[in-house]
Structure formats: C-alpha cells, structure tokens
Amino acid sequence: IIAAMLKVITYDRDNSHASYYRNFILAAKPDIAAELSVTGVEQANQKNYDIAEEILAALRALQPTEPDPALNLALVYEEHAKVYEKGNRLDLMETYLDQTHALYSDLLKQFPKHPRVHFNCGHFFLHMKNYVRARDHLEQYLELSDDTKKKEMVVTILDELTRQSESDEWFR
C-alpha cells in the first residue's frame, strides 16, 4: 500500500489525495524519509542512477516542503549527465542537463533564500560554463550562509572567476 501511495504522489503530483497519502505513509512508517534518503544516495554512489532517481523523486514527493530531496535529485541528474557525456551520448546528456536546470529553477522559486540551493546552483552553472549565473548564485550563497568553511571555498572560486575575467579582458 505504501509503495503504491509513493508511486501516486511521485508521478501524479496534483493528485487530490496526495496530502492524505503523505500523512498515511509518514504515520505508518515514520522513518521512511531517512530510509529513502540513505538508499537513494547509496544507489547514486553505486552509479545505479535510474534507481537513485526514482527513490529520490519519491522522497521529493513525500517531502515537498524540504529542499534536500530535490537537491540530491539534481545532483544525481548532474552525475547521470556526466556519464552520458563521457559515453558521447550527447542527446541524453542534454536531456539530463535540462532536467537539472528545471529542477534548480523550481528550487529557486520554492526556496529563494536557502543557501544550499544557491551553492548547488552556482556549481551547476560553473559546470555549464555560465559564469555570470554561477557568480550570482555563489554571491547569494555568501550572503545567506554561515558555513565558514564553504564560504572560504566559494570566495576562492569567485576570486578565480574574477582573475579569469580580468585575463580575458586583458587578452581582448
């Protein structure tokens, strides 16, 4: 019953019974979110991306007001895209990058002041070589975060982006 309810809320997000199903699942199995999270991450680490995506999508549907399930799902999409890039399957790589971009757009709308959302978006746009958007999100991360270690890393990245930009200008 729980598996069926998870499928419904995962693939029919506008289902009129979604709230009831979430409440039922969490009441019947209070530790399910932690179990799904651990299992999804383990599957991603083992490079079983399709399974990891399905598990993390279910977790995202179960916890729609939490950013972490969607952030983890976006990271799995990014990794899946890299696999297809290495395999020279550019059509599938683009599909996964589009899904990642769409997921980050949703996250930014739903959690505009969440530091980890901006941190992950910044890194995604770095990978995409969209340095303007990467800089924007990393600067927002600096404003929102209190994690000094990550902030130091972000400052280093921003400094490198500035140096690269200045080098490009000098070259031109």
Query: For 110-146, how does the pLDDT look when each residue is reduced to its tens digit (9 = 90+)?
Result: 999 999 999 999 999 999 999 999 999 999 999 999 9
Using 50, 70 and 90 to split pLDDT, how confident is the model at 165?
A: confident
Rounded to two decimals, the pTM is 0.88
Q: What is the pLDDT of residues 75-89, one digit of tens each?
A: 999 999 999 999 999
pLDDT interval class at 169 (50, 70, 90): low
pLDDT reported for residue 13: 87
Question: Can you say whether the dihedral through the CA atoms of 58, 62, 63, 64 is positive or negative?
Answer: positive
- Nearest Cα neighbor of 147 from 122, 121, 119 is 119
Picking from 37, 10, 34, the residue whose alpha carbon sits closest to that of residue 21 is: 10
- Across residues 150-168, what is the average pLDDT? 86
**Separation CA 11–CA 24 (nearest Å):** 17
pLDDT single digits (tens) 7-22: 999 999 899 999 999 9
- The per-residue DSSP string of 115-156 comes to HHHHHHHHHHHHHTT-HHHHHHHHHHHHHH---HHHHHHHHH
Q: What whole-number distance in Å separates Cα of residue 79 and Cα of residue 107?
A: 18
Judge whether residue 50 has pLDDT over 70: yes
Q: Is the pLDDT score of 168 beyond 80? A: no
